[in-house]
């Protein structure tokens, strides 16, 4: 029992430590594609270190929400990391505390507070970004629902530890149309929710075009560091759900020993790296969509998820 | 053939059919004429893949023939014919306004696809217990999506591709129902398709030459027969 609690905490530690590395590697890969020199892949750590040592300035006109939000944005991905399989293929101590819908709600809580905080300071760009994020959010919501319900229909459960085994036993299930289409729809969702390129440009510095970034414009010092780190962890957690639950449940520790669990860390990081390569290809070959075409992008995601549902559920 | 292999082949065939359905949706919604043509090529390749996988599954040489005919005629000859017959600028054209906006069109297309499942599954059951997999409902769905494309698009090339997608859909349902149709029939259908492409290509070229555009959706009224023109002539 004590071991399971320990492994669970180890999962959180992995998410905490390697989330900045993942986003550093992602931006490094993009710079290599674009023939830029760019900072090293450890730059996000340095940024966080620098920000933690800077003064924080908080507007006098803001309320408690503004001060409270960085902690919520920082803590919610950690909660989700307790629920999902990051390193082990068997359920850990907190695994039955919440299912995938619960994890989705916890992540949505962070997004909700980030939206409130953006409106709170009356910075003109904050509410613009907040309303755009809500637009993307409500268009992505039905896709999330259909993906989760189809997954749980196939597996007979919404606990991610149980779901992950269904797609590979027997291996032919991996090629079931519902599985492949669900994965496609979920990748589109990650692009939308993570503010990646066809929906939002994460490296853009033009305030009028921002969607995700403009919510944290008013933060500085420690608060900004927490918001930034929280965003990186959110992307990492979403990648873990995609890779460990939906696409490739291989490489996770099956045994209870410390060695097996520690060995799972490089394997999981390797899987994340492989997916980052795919993400770089997507981000380098597409351009950012205009705001009103985001509805078409998420409409395509909806169609994909509905096609997955039809090929699975309607068949006799 | 072991049960595991059979299961794998059936799943791969279903996967090809599922992606086939996605390309059908894509043809409804893509703005670029070029993208529409690429989607049609991908759709034909998936149709050929489905035919080959079903051929492997049921050990039917005839289905291999279907795969081969599809592999040669649609992804290679159709684009070549179009390039030879239709005006060159047609590939770079974009549709600025469809009849419906794209999210609405996608929602209606989704409803059509769901509806075709309710039609297709009893139909497949009526044919025989042997006809499994999503080929029949998805074939009907793409048939309907092609017809829907014909109603909502206003540019000549996407209209033609909608017509060809209808044929693809009928083929996908057909190879699951009739595994041993005469080869002659398949060849006849394939040749028919090519002749349609040829005639349409020439027609589009003629339209382009006469009125200077391929946006056939705008050609709702005849120039000479319109009441204003008739009134003008009466005055003269």
State the average pLDDT over residues B35-54. 93
Q: Among partner residues A175, A304, A308, which is closest to B12 by beta-carbon distance?
A: A175
Minimal Cα distance from A185: which residue of B? B22
Select the residue from A311, A313, A316 to test the B interface by mutation, using most B Cβ atoms within 10 A: A311
Q: Which residues contact A157 (CB under 8 A, 6 or more apart)?
A: A99, A163
The span from the CA of B162 to the CA of B176, in Å, is: 22
A135-144, A155-164, A173-182, B150-159: lowest mean pLDDT where? A155-164
The span from the CA of A60 to the CA of A123, in Å, is: 13
Q: Is there a contact between B18 and A178 if contact means CB atoms under 8 Å apart?
A: yes
Decide which of A315 and A174 is more confident.
A174
Minimal Cα distance from A301: which residue of B? B22
State the average pLDDT over residues B118-144. 87
Q: Among partner residues B15, B22, B121, which is closest to A304 by beta-carbon distance?
A: B22
Per-residue b or e along A239-250, where b marks 16 or more CB atoms closer than 10 Å to that residue's CB? bbbbbbbbbbbe
Where in chain A are the domains?
Answer: 2-313
In this predicted structure, the answer to whether residue B236 has a pLDDT above a threshold of 60 is no
- The domain tally of chain B equals 1
State the average pLDDT over residues A137-143. 90
State the average pLDDT over residues A162-181. 84
Tell me the nearest-neighbour CA distance from A306 into chain B, angstroms. 8
Decide which of B93 and A112 is more confident.
A112
Mean predicted lDDT score pLDDT of chain A: 89
Q: Is there a contact between B11 and A176 if contact means CB atoms under 8 Å apart?
A: yes
Please tell me chain A's helix, strand, coil percentages from 3-state DSSP, rounded to the nearest 5.
75, 0, 25
Tell me the CA distances in angstroms from A196 to A154, A183, A210, B70, B192, one per residue in order.
Answer: 29, 17, 11, 38, 45
Minimal Cα distance from A305: which residue of B? B22
Q: Among partner residues B4, B14, B25, which is closest to A303 by beta-carbon distance?
A: B25
Q: Is there a contact between A172 and B29 if contact means CB atoms under 8 Å apart?
A: no
pLDDT class of B113 with cuts at 50, 70, 90: very high
Considering only CB atoms, which chain B residues are within 8 Å of A306? 110, 113-114
pLDDT at A51: 95
Report the half-sphere exposure of A46 (CA within 13 A, side-chain side).
6
pLDDT at B155: 84
Percent of chain A with pLDDT over 70: 99
Nearest CA to B38 out of B69, B82, B68 is that of B82
Q: How many Cβ atoms are within 10 Å of A34's Cβ, its own excluded?
A: 9
Which tokens belong to B29? Answer: 């919604």
Nearest CA to A246 out of A155, A307, A313, A310 is that of A155
In this predicted structure, the answer to whether residue B226 has a pLDDT above a threshold of 70 is no
Decide which of A51 and B156 is more confident.
A51
What is the DSSP track for chain A? -HHHHHHHHHHHHHHHHHHHHHHHHHHHHHHHHTT-----TTHHHHHHHHHHTS-----TT--HHHHHHHHHHHHHHHHHHHHS-SSBSS--TTGGG--HHHHHHHHHHHHHHHHHHHHHT--THHHHHHHHHHHHHHHHHHHHHHHHHHHHHHHT---HHHHHHHTTSSGGGGG-HHHHHHHHHHHHHHHHHTT-TTT--TT---GGG-SSGGGGTT--HHHHHHHHHHHHHHHHHHHHIIIIIII---SSB-SSSHHHHHHHHHHHHHHHHHHHHHHHHHHHHS-PPPGGGHHHHHHHHHHHHHHHHHHHHS--
Minimal Cα distance from B138: which residue of A? A311
In this predicted structure, the answer to whether residue A186 has a pLDDT above a threshold of 80 is yes
Which tokens belong to A309? Answer: 């549902």
pLDDT at B65: 87
Q: Is there a contact between B125 and A302 if contact means CB atoms under 8 Å apart?
A: no
- Altogether, the residues listed in chain B come to a count of 236
State the average pLDDT over residues A182-190. 93
In this predicted structure, the answer to whether residue B95 has a pLDDT above a threshold of 80 is no
pLDDT at A275: 94
Tens of pLDDT, residue by residue over B47-57, are: 999 999 999 98
Select the residue from A303, A309, A313 to test the B interface by mutation, using most B Cβ atoms within 10 A: A303
In this predicted structure, the answer to whether residue A64 has a pLDDT above a threshold of 60 is yes
Tens of pLDDT, residue by residue over A257-296, are: 888 899 999 999 999 999 999 999 999 998 888 888 899 8
- Which residues constitute the domain of residue B192? 3-235
Q: Interface pTM (ipTM) of the complex?
A: 0.87
């Amino acid at each position: 029992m004590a071991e399971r609690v320990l492994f669970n905490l180890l999962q959180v530690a992995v998410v905490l430590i390697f989330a900045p590395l993942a986003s550093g590697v992602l931006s490094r890969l993009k710079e290599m594609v674009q023939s830029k020199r760019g900072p090293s892949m450890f730059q996000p750590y340095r940024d966080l270190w620098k920000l933690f040592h800077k003064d924080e300035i908080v507007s006098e006109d803001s309320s408690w929400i503004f001060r409270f939000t960085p902690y919520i944005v920082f803590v919610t991905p950690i909660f989700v990391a307790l629920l999902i399989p990051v390193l082990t293929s068997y359920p850990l101590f907190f695994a039955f505390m919440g299912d995938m819908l619960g994890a989705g709600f916890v992540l949505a809580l962070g997004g909700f507070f980030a939206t409130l905080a953006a409106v709170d300071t009356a910075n003109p760009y904050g509410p613009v970004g907040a309303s755009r994020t809500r637009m993307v959010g409500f268009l992505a919501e039905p896709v999330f629902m259909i993906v989760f319900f189809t997954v749980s229909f196939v597996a007979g459960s919404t606990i991610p530890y149980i779901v992950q085994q269904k797609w590979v036993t027997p291996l032919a299930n991996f090629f079931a149309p519902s599985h492949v289409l669900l994965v496609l729809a979920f990748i589109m969702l990650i692009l939308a929710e993570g503010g990646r390129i066809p929906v939002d440009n994460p490296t853009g510095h033009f305030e009028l075009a921002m969607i995700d970034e403009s919510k944290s414009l008013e933060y500085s010092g420690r608060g900004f560091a927490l918001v930034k780190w929280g965003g990186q962890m959110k992307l990492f957690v979403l990648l873990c759900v995609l890779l460990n639950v939906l696409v490739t449940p291989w490489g996770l520790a099956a045994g209870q020993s410390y060695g097996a669990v520690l060995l799972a860390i490089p394997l999981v990081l390797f899987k994340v790296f492989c997916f980052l390569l795919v993400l770089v290809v997507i981000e380098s070959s597409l351009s950012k969509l205009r705001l009103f075409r985001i509805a078409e992008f998420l409409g395509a995601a909806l169609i994909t998820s509905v096609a997955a549902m039809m090929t699975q559920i309607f068949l006799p | 053939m072991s049960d595991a292999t059979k299961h794998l082949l059936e799943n791969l065939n279903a996967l090809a059919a599922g992606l086939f359905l996605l390309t059908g949706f894509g043809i409804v919604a893509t703005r670029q004429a070029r993208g529409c043509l690429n989607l049609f090529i991908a759709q034909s390749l998936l149709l050929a893949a489905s035919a080959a996988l079903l051929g492997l599954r049921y050990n039917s040489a005839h289905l291999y023939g279907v795969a081969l005919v599809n592999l040669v005629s649609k992804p290679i000859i159709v684009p070549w014919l179009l390039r030879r017959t239709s005006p060159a600028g047609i590939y770079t054209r974009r549709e600025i306004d469809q009849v419906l906006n794209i999210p609405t069109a996608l929602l209606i297309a989704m409803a059509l696809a769901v509806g075709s499942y309710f039609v297709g599954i009893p139909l497949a059951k009526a044919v025989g217990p042997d006809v499994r997999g999503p080929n029949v409902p998805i074939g009907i769905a793409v048939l309907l999506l092609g017809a829907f494309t014909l109603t909502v698009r206003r540019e000549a090339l996407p209209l033609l591709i909608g017509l060809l997608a209808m044929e693809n859909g009928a083929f996908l349902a057909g190879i699951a129902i009739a595994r041993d149709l005469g080869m002659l029939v398949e060849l006849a259908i394939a040749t028919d398709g090519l002749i349609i492409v040829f005639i349409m290509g020439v027609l589009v070229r003629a339209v382009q030459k006469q009125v200077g555009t391929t946006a056939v959706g705008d050609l709702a009224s005849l120039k000479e027969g319109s009441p204003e023109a008739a009134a003008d002539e009466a005055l003269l």
